[in-house]
Amino acid sequence: MTVAVAWIRKLRDCEELVFVSDSRLSGDGCTFDACPKILTLPRSDCAICFAGYTGHAFPMMLQLSLAIDSYAPSRRGSLDLTSLKSHALKVFDGMAELIRTSQLVSAKQNESPGAEFLFGGYSWVKKQFELWSISFNTAEGRFVAQPAHYISHCNDTKQVELRRRPDIEGTEPIGRIAFAGDQSKLAKDLLKKRLGTQNGAVARAIKLDMEPFEVVRDMLRDSHHSETIGGAPQVTKVYQYMRTAPLGLYWPSKKSGSIHLQGRACLGYEQIDRWVLDPDTLVSERPLYSRNDADDSTPEAANGDT
User: 205 pLDDT band (50/70/90 cuts)?
Assistant: low
- Cβ 168 vs Cβ 177: under 8 Å: no
Within a domain: 223: yes
Rg (CA), the chain: 20
Within a domain: 198: yes
Residue type, 223: S
The pLDDT value given to residue 298? 38
Average pLDDT on 59-63 reads 98
The pLDDT value given to residue 168? 84
What φ, ψ does residue 237 adopt, rounded to 5°? -120, 145
Determine the structural domain holding residue 23 and report its residue range: 4-246
Within a domain: 251: no
Arithmetic mean of pLDDT over the chain:
91
Backbone region of residue 205 per phi and psi (left: phi > 0; alpha: psi in -120 to 50; beta: other values)? left
d(CA 124, CA 243): 12
Q: Looking at the 3D structure of the chain, how many domains does it have? A: 1
Within a domain: 207: yes
Within a domain: 172: yes
The pLDDT value given to residue 166? 85
- Among 97, 75, 188, 185, residue whose Cα is nearest residue 141: 97
Within a domain: 292: no
pLDDT tens sequence across 5-18: 999 999 888 999 99
Within a domain: 16: yes
pLDDT tens sequence across 170-201: 888 899 999 999 999 999 999 999 998 653 34
- pLDDT of 292 > 80? The answer is no
What φ, ψ does residue 286 adopt, rounded to 5°? -130, 75
The pLDDT value given to residue 154? 86
Within a domain: 66: yes
- CATH label of the domain that carries residue 160: 3.60.20.10
pLDDT tens sequence across 64-75: 999 999 999 999
Give the end-to-end CA distance of the chain in Å, rounded to a whole number.
Answer: 33
Higher pLDDT: 289 or 113? It is 113
- Cβ 163 vs Cβ 150: under 8 Å: yes
